[in-house]
Amino acid sequence: MESPDGKRGHPATEGEAVPRENRVHRILVRALLLLMAAEWVVLLIDRVWLSAFLVALIIASLLSPLVFRRKMEVEIPAEFHLTAVVFIFASLYLGEVRDFYQRFWWWDIALHTSAGLLMGIVGFLLVYLLNENKRVDMHMTPGFISMFAFLFAVTIGTLWEIFEFSMDRLLGVNMQKPMLGDPSGLTDTMWDMIVNAVGAFFISFAGWRYLKRKRAFFVKDWIRSFISRNPGLFRRG
């Protein structure tokens, strides 16, 4: 098994940094599960259905590694999972349930920029790992991989805006917030899509520089971690 930089790598053994990170990961996940479960019960008692649904999504994201491990035999590295959980927690719980979108005008912009970065990373990882998988006959150029990552992130951001619009129209909620004097939510939607595209472009360009010119790219450590946890996906032949 080879790492993204061409060196031989092996799954971490007991006593190394990864198991220690896994212990921290487990502690944080269990603490958040207890907190979200308690919050969910309170919201059900108060009949705040939308907030209860959003908290249920957070609980599902916390439990997702179990599903991937048992149903798909894929091990999600701790840094992947924690990054996703932190973003979902900040967006759904702090943003929607605790009204951070209303309290801090910059919260929505910061999260949508982060979403562009994160979805760009996910898109980059997906197509890069397919390219490296010896059981999948695909040979993609750095430009194509980076373009896919950018379009993947922009598509996910667009689908989220469609979801917000649908929730506002069907359930009468206020996910598309008034912004810069525009009560319709259109300005909010457009700025969300713009900053999402900016974040996606940054990651895509950084990924292209890494693949084309071997420049520094922090995502390569995430790739190495994923490959080391799932050696069966990258066996030759």
Q: DSSP for 60-79, please give it.
A: HHHHHHHHHHHHS--PPPHH
Angle subtended by helix axes 186-213 and 142-171, to nearest 10? 160
> What's this model's pTM, rounded to 2 decimal places?
0.67
Burial status of residue 139 (CB atoms within 10 A of its CB: 0-12, 13-18, 19 or more): exposed
CA distance 130 to 86: 26
Q: Does position 158 have pLDDT exceeding 90, yes or no?
A: yes
Determine the average pLDDT of the residues in 163-168.
Answer: 86
pLDDT tens by residue, 36-67 = 899 899 888 888 777 788 788 888 888 877 77
| Residue indicated by tokens 């939607």 | 189
Among 188, 193, 196, 154, which Cα is nearest to 168's? 188
* Alpha-carbon separation of residue 40 from 54, 58, 60, 101, 189 (angstroms): 9, 10, 12, 20, 29
> What band does 143 get if pLDDT is binned at 50, 70 and 90?
confident
Q: Does position 104 have pLDDT exceeding 60, yes or no?
A: yes
CA distance 131 to 234: 10
Neighbouring CB atoms inside 10 A of 145's CB total: 24
Instruction: Name 179's bridge partners.
Output: 182
Most confident of 22-26, 84-88, 120-124, 162-166: 162-166
Predicted pLDDT of residue 232: 64
